């Protein structure tokens, strides 16, 4: 088991790792839209989806993987009405169309609008 850590994505805000690699599989923790350089959160679902996907990408890269090797994602939305706008951004990153679950939840940490987690191969 290998703990994945990069400064190109926000650090964990709790007792967990950004990702764990085991037996050639990468399990990335959910990424919220925090800019790792500034700590800022962009406004609106499109900008937040963009930042969340960039954060996932940075972790995948640190693990020796990439978006093209993602096999499953789980996406959380604060408002299911944002589903279409979220999908527009998501589709630019996950072009291989991995398996996915996408659900609306009551709240996401820091009051953000979305969170994305991924499972990938190396």
In whole angstroms, give the CA distance from residue 39 to residue 56.
16
Q: Which helix (H) or strand (E) holds 21?
A: strand 19-22
From 53, 75, 102, 114, the catalytic residue:
102
* Polymer length in residues for the chain: 122
Bridging pattern class, strands 114-121 and 70-77: antiparallel
In whole angstroms, give the CA distance from residue 15 to residue 23.
23
102 is catalytic: yes
Which residues are marked as active site?
A: 102
């Amino acid at each position: 088991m290998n703990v994945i850590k990069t400064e190109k994505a926000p650090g964990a805000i709790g007792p967990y790792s950004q990702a764990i690699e085991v037996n050639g599989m990468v399990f990335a923790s959910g990424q919220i839209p925090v800019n790792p350089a500034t700590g800022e959160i962009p406004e609106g679902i499109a900008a937040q989806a963009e930042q969340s996907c960039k954060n996932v990408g940075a972790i995948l890269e640190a693990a020796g993987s990439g978006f093209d090797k993602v096999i499953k994602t789980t996406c959380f939305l604060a408002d299911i009405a944002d589903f279409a706008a979220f999908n527009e951004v998501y589709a630019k990153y996950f072009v291989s169309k991995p398996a996915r679950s996408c659900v609306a939840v009551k709240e996401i940490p820091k009051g953000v609008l979305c969170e994305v987690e991924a499972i990938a191969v190396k």
